[in-house]
Amino acid sequence: MMSAERGAAPATLAAYRADLTLCNDYLEGQGTDLLEASPADLSDWIVFLKSSGQASRTIARRITTLRRFFLFLLREGERTDNPASALESPTPSRQLPRFLSEEEVLHLLEAARRAVDDTPAAQRRAFLVTAAIELLYASGLRISELLALRRDSLRENAKMLVIRGKGGRERLIPLSSQARSASVALMKADEAKGSPFLFSGRNPKAPLTRQAFDHILHEVGLRAGISPSRLSPHVLRHSFATHMLAHGADLRTLQTLLGHADIATTQIYTHVQAERLRQVVESHHPLAQKGDMVRDSGVKEGE
């Protein structure tokens, strides 16, 4: 059902399968199983997860999995209730997304364009990582969307890309001239490989793996003076969104470009902007460091 009706991605299906298997294994150890579980059985499992130190976000996702699973059984007539409906999801802590400064992105692109030597392999790697960074930063693509891009999507001087995102949803995103030029350079370098993918792996019939790309990106990051702990494809996606918002983009446009189903997901970037404004005021306002700003304004703290 999740695959055929909801169009869930393979990673989502794998996560659901893992959650249900984990719960069933626990319940079998308690003398029951997933199909016969009572609300108390499921509640005990959640308590067990919390006592094991699992993250709130992980527990919340597993509760969502259970709710959808038992709702499916209810609709199919396999059960007469949903024992997971009363489970309370923990509120996950909302961390501000990490992002690079605009200057750091420029340094990263400069490092990407410089091949480490004159060998064809090094030249090809420079073309690959330059095209990838240009697309990730200029379009806000997810890494899965980037690596799934096919060569024919850039034919006929295309100025827009059709991206198939989460849940099979399609969206149009503009293709910058720099990103297109870098992609064309990569396609020319890979022409002899005959791969259908823009970012092909060692096997031309398959795209580059996420792990292989992470390794290449971290190498370039080190050459640009950026720690691997601060750099990932998702950090570049966050950088795109943060910088777009800083330069005047509205949230609805950003939601469309990022492929978010719910604008609440996009709104986290407004918190990033608010945090940056707070830091600027605290760093530069003459009264901020003395703690007199709030008192002298006549406004009570918290208002």
Q: Which residues are catalytic?
A: 142, 166, 234, 237, 260, 269
**Rounded Cα distance, 201 and 33, in Å:** 42
Phi, psi dihedrals of residue 143, rounded to the nearest 5°: -65, -35
- Distances, alpha carbon 169 to alpha carbons 9, 28, 205, 251, 260, in Å: 11, 38, 24, 19, 10
Tokens coding 225: 């003076």
171: exposed, middle or buried (Cβ count in 10 Å: 0-12, 13-18, 19+):
middle
What residues are paired with 160 via a beta bridge? 174
Per DSSP, the three-state class of 28 is: helix
**Rounded Cα distance, 186 and 259, in Å:** 26
Angle at which helix 251-258 crosses helix 268-284, to 10 degrees, equals 130
What residues are paired with 170 via a beta bridge? 164
Going by C-beta distance under 8 Å and a sequence separation of 6 or more, which residues neighbour residue 4?
none
Phi, psi dihedrals of residue 171, rounded to the nearest 5°: -145, 155
Q: Which helix (H) or strand (E) holds 233?
A: helix 233-246
Q: How many H-runs (helices) and E-runs (strands) does the chain carry? A: 13, 2
Tokens coding 47: 């308590």
User: Are the C-beta atoms of 137 and 129 separated by less than 8 Å?
Assistant: no
**Rounded Cα distance, 102 and 242, in Å:** 10
The distance in angstroms from the start CA to the end CA of the chain is 48
